[in-house]
């Protein structure tokens, strides 16, 4: 949303944006391949520092996986909070729109009466003019969604 983000939110966004790229993937492929080639003794003049079975590499990859998992969880939590906020904004706008439409319908009915326009009995219109009971609406929705 447009609100100011905290420093930790900016860092989380920066990390998520950086780690979620093909470039990051390719850097990992190159680094891990180089690590394995060097430590398999295939490069003359460089002594292996993590010989097969590459225990240190395993630890590095595990730590990277932990950090990436935490970053993904942070990103998902932020996305969920943003989605909740957007949902609440949509809900409030919809409730306000419903009030405004009901008010307009009542005003039109008053204009009809003032101008002595014969009106037809319209059940749908009568239903639209009723005040929206949000609790009842929620109850009906939950009832239809129940397994």
**Domain, as residue range, for 134:** 7-145
Q: Is residue 128 part of a domain?
A: yes
Q: How far is Cα 87 from Cα 94, in angstroms, rounded to an integer?
A: 10
Q: Is residue 80 part of a domain?
A: yes
CA distances from 98 to 32, 60, 70, 82 (A): 59, 57, 42, 24
Q: How far is Cα 114 from Cα 109, in angstroms, rounded to an integer?
A: 9
Residues of the chain with pLDDT under 70: 1-3
The most distant pair of C-alpha atoms in the chain lies apart, rounded to whole Å, by 101
Q: What angle do CA 105, 110, 111 make, to 5 degrees?
A: 95
Collect all residues with Cβ–Cβ distance below 8 Å to 36 and sequence separation of at least 6.
54, 57
Q: Is residue 1 part of a domain?
A: no
Cis preceding linkage at 53, omega within 30: yes
What does the pLDDT read at residue 41?
93
Burial class of residue 33, CB neighbours in 10 A (0-12, 13-18, 19+): exposed
Alpha-helical runs (H) found in 5-146 = 7-19, 22-39, 55-114, 123-129, 134-145
What does the pLDDT read at residue 138?
84
Number of domains the chain contains: 1
Q: Is residue 2 part of a domain?
A: no
Q: How far is Cα 44 from Cα 72, in angstroms, rounded to an integer?
A: 39
Q: Is residue 82 part of a domain?
A: yes
Half-sphere exposure of 35 (CA within 13 A, CB side): 16
Q: Is residue 99 part of a domain?
A: yes
Q: Is the entire prediction scored with pTM above 0.75?
A: no
What does the pLDDT read at residue 96?
93
């Amino acid at each position: 949303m447009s609100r100011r983000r905290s420093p930790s939110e900016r860092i989380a966004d920066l990390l998520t944006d950086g780690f979620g790229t093909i470039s990051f993937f390719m850097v990992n492929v190159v680094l891990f391949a180089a690590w394995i080639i060097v430590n398999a003794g295939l490069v003359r003049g460089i002594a292996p520092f993590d010989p097969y079975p590459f225990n240190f590499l395993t630890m590095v990859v595990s730590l990277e996986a932990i950090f990436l998992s935490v970053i993904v969880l942070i990103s998902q939590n932020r996305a969920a909070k943003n989605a909740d906020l957007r949902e609440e904004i949509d809900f409030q706008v919809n409730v306000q729109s419903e009030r405004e439409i009901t008010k307009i319908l009542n005003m039109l009915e008053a204009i009809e009466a003032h101008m002595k326009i014969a009106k037809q009995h319209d059940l749908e219109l009568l239903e639209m003019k009723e005040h929206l009971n949000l609790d009842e609406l929620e109850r009906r929705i939950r009832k239809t969604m129940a397994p």
